[in-house]
């Protein structure tokens, strides 16, 4: 069936332009996903909603729309056709859904993804209302890693506990000498129960929890949550509020790029880069706090607008700081490019070819470094981005050097956008009174975070309480690609390659 036929059968999600919902059957679920993929579409997210009568949902980017497939199942336990053969990134999402909801895809890989013996096999965190008793979980969790055999092959287990403050993740390397033949990841060690915590919260308070899903993407998640809630309530924020949200989002992008560029220099043995970008990041965080009220903007985006109305002088100072940082970053980029040792470490390390990136669904910044041009600010622009004409930067090289180059380019673009936003910032109200909807509702919000596309699906009850909220991080798509990027590289290059993606453990471990 033609993709347009599926779109014609779908219905708009209230208040969410470009997002449509399509009820499917077990037979048409797989067929629709196949047709979306054949037209160049991509998997955005996959999750399960509901308890006694579960519904599997898959958000597919089928430009110019996001098509949310909805498949109702008879109960728990239940099975449904796997999408992993169409969209490989679906595999881990399906395994996580099985751990949390007891709804299993018909797939070959039934290993737990989030459970880690943290709760009994028969306990389903998003289904069972009564928590398990203390000590009732399995004592040992035997996880069947894929083994590589052959002369001289040995394994190097790394993590889940790491040095410093990095979050836990286990990396199982199969190597010959120092050359990596295979990497297998296992994540989800500190399952925080965020999706479970959302249930029962007042919808007016949910943005605060959403902002804390992944600490480096506060603005993106809280904005996506508010998009979904405002869509349910039929509330359009004022122009000034929309522009201030974009200002905060670009501020978040600059802070993360500055931190990553310094860390990447350090991983290449170039401490000068770490020192300089750490200095610039601190300058930026101070300017952000002075203008917007927080160094990290966890509580800036709120339902109906933003929390505070920034004044003219601090905003002008923020814009000037962005310009200054962009100028200094341009100089440091020249130093990175000309330093033989840095070039040697960056170039050719961790290559993801455009073909592999497209097949595996690599997205966001890492995707653009492998010729995947997608950016929601450009492809499906939400206010005020249609008026800002965002420039997207890509590379076909797909190595660490390309991912560094895209960061440098996006840093310059975000500085330009901040200057434009401050200069053109509309006058008027920064927040509107947001009455909670008085009827049940379903909404979806999507925002392009600095790392890639973020989605928040929200379902609320008639009393304004959250029944289900699912946040999706682009790291779900990108962690599996890291396993491919390291193949053929040496073990000591893994920290550098890993940092060039800089994926979220927290956003992947809800």
106, 136, 153: which is the final residue of a domain? 106
89, 106, 123: which is the final residue of a domain? 106
Confidence of residue 136 (pLDDT cuts 50, 70, 90): low
Angle CA(116)–CA(120)–CA(125) in degrees, nearest 5?
Answer: 85
> Is residue 58 included in any domain, yes or no?
yes
Supply the CATH number for residue 316's domain: 1.10.645.10
DSSP string across 287-355? HHHHHHS-SS-TTSEETTEES----HHHHHHHHHHHHHHHHHHHHHHHHHHH-HHHHHHHTTSS---HH
Q: Looking at the structure, do residues 353 and 481 belong to the same domain, yes or no?
A: yes
Structural domain count, the chain: 2
Q: Looking at the structure, do residues 99 and 222 belong to the same domain, yes or no?
A: no
Q: What is the pTM of this model?
A: 0.96
CA dihedral (36, 38, 42, 46) in degrees, to 10, reads 50
Residue 9 neighbours by CB under 8 Å, 6+ apart: 22
pLDDT at 145 over 90: yes
What is the reported pLDDT for 52? 67
Q: Looking at the structure, do residues 95 and 205 belong to the same domain, yes or no?
A: no
The DSSP 8-state label assigned to residue 47 in this structure reads E
How far apart are the C-alpha atoms of 211 and 188, rounded to whole Å? 19
Q: Looking at the structure, do residues 226 and 97 belong to the same domain, yes or no?
A: no
> Is residue 328 included in any domain, yes or no?
yes
> Is residue 463 included in any domain, yes or no?
yes
Helix axes 239-267, 494-501, angle to 10 degrees: 170
Confidence of residue 23 (pLDDT cuts 50, 70, 90): very high
Q: Looking at the structure, do residues 498 and 394 belong to the same domain, yes or no?
A: yes
Q: Looking at the structure, do residues 102 and 228 belong to the same domain, yes or no?
A: no
Q: Looking at the structure, do residues 311 and 415 belong to the same domain, yes or no?
A: yes
Q: Looking at the structure, do residues 254 and 369 belong to the same domain, yes or no?
A: yes
Quick check: helix, strand or coil at residue 59?
strand
Supply the CATH number for residue 49's domain: 3.30.460.80
Q: What is the layout of strands, in order, in the sheet containing 153-158?
A: 153-158, 170-176, 179-186
424 backbone dihedrals φ, ψ, rounded to 5°: -105, 10
106, 130, 147: which is the final residue of a domain? 106
Q: Report the percent of the chain where pLDDT is more than 90.
A: 83
Tokens read off for 396: 């076909």
pLDDT at 139 over 60: no
> Is residue 129 included in any domain, yes or no?
no
> Is residue 123 included in any domain, yes or no?
no
User: What are the pLDDT digits (tens) for 239-261?
Assistant: 999 999 999 999 999 999 999 99
Q: Looking at the structure, do residues 318 and 460 belong to the same domain, yes or no?
A: yes
Domain of 32 in residue numbering reads as 3-106
Neighbour-count burial for 30-47, b at 16+ CB within 10 Å, e otherwise: bebbebbbeeebbbbbbb
């Amino acid at each position: 069936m033609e993709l347009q036929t599926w779109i014609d059968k779908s219905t708009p999600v209230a208040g969410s332009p470009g997002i449509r919902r399509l009820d499917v059957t077990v037979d048409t679920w797989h067929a629709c996903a196949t047709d979306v993929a054949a037209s160049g579409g991509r998997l955005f997210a996959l999750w399960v909603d509901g308890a006694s009568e579960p519904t599997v949902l898959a958000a597919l980017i089928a430009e110019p729309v996001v098509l949310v497939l909805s498949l109702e199942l008879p109960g728990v336990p239940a099975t449904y056709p796997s999408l992993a053969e169409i969209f490989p990134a679906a595999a881990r999402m399906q395994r996580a859904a099985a751990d949390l909801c007891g709804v299993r895809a018909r797939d070959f890989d039934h290993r737990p993804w989030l459970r880690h013996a943290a709760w009994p096999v028969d306990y389903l965190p998003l289904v069972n209302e009564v928590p398990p008793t203390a000590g009732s979980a399995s004592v040992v969790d035997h996880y069947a890693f894929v083994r590589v055999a052959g002369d001289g092959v040995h394994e190097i287990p790394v993590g889940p506990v790491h040095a410093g403050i990095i979050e836990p993740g286990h990396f199982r390397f199969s190597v010959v000498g120092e050359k990596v033949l295979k990497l297998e990841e296992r994540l989800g060690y500190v399952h925080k129960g965020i999706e479970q915590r959302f249930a029962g919260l007042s919808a007016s308070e949910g943005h605060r929890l959403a902002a804390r899903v992944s600490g480096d993407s506060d603005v993106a998640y809280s904005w996506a949550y508010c998009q979904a809630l405002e869509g349910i309530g039929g509330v359009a924020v004022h122009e000034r509020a929309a522009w201030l949200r974009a200002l905060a989002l670009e501020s978040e992008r600059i802070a993360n790029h500055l931190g990553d560029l310094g860390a990447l220099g350090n991983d290449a043995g170039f401490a000068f880069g770490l020192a300089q970008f750490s200095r610039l990041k601190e300058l930026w965080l101070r300017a952000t706090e002075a203008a917007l009220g927080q160094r990290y903007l966890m509580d800036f985006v709120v339902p109906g607008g933003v929390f505070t109305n920034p004044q003219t002088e601090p905003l002008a100072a923020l814009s000037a700081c962005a310009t200054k940082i962009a100028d200094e970053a341009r100089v440091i980029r020249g130093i990175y490019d000309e330093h033989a040792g840095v070039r040697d470490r960056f170039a050719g390390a961790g290559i993801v070819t455009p073909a592999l990136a497209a097949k595996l669904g690599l997205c966001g910044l890492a995707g653009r470094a492998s010729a995947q041009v997608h950016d929601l600010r450009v492809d499906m622009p939400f206010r005020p981005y249609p008026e800002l004409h965002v420039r997207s930067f890509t590379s076909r090289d797909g190595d660490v050097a390309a991912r560094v180059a895209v960061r440098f380019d996006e840093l310059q673009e975000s500085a330009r956008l901040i200057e434009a936003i401050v200069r053109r910032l509309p006058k008027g109200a920064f927040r509107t009174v947001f009455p909670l909807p008085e009827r049940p509702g379903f909404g979806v919000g999507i925002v392009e975070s600095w790392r890639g596309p973020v989605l928040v699906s929200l379902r609320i009850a008639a009393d304004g309480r959250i029944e289900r909220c699912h946040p999706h991080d682009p790291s779900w798509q990108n962690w599996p690609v890291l396993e491919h990027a390291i193949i053929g590289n040496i073990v000591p290059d893994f920290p550098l390659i890993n940092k060039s993606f800089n994926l979220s453990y927290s956003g992947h471990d809800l």
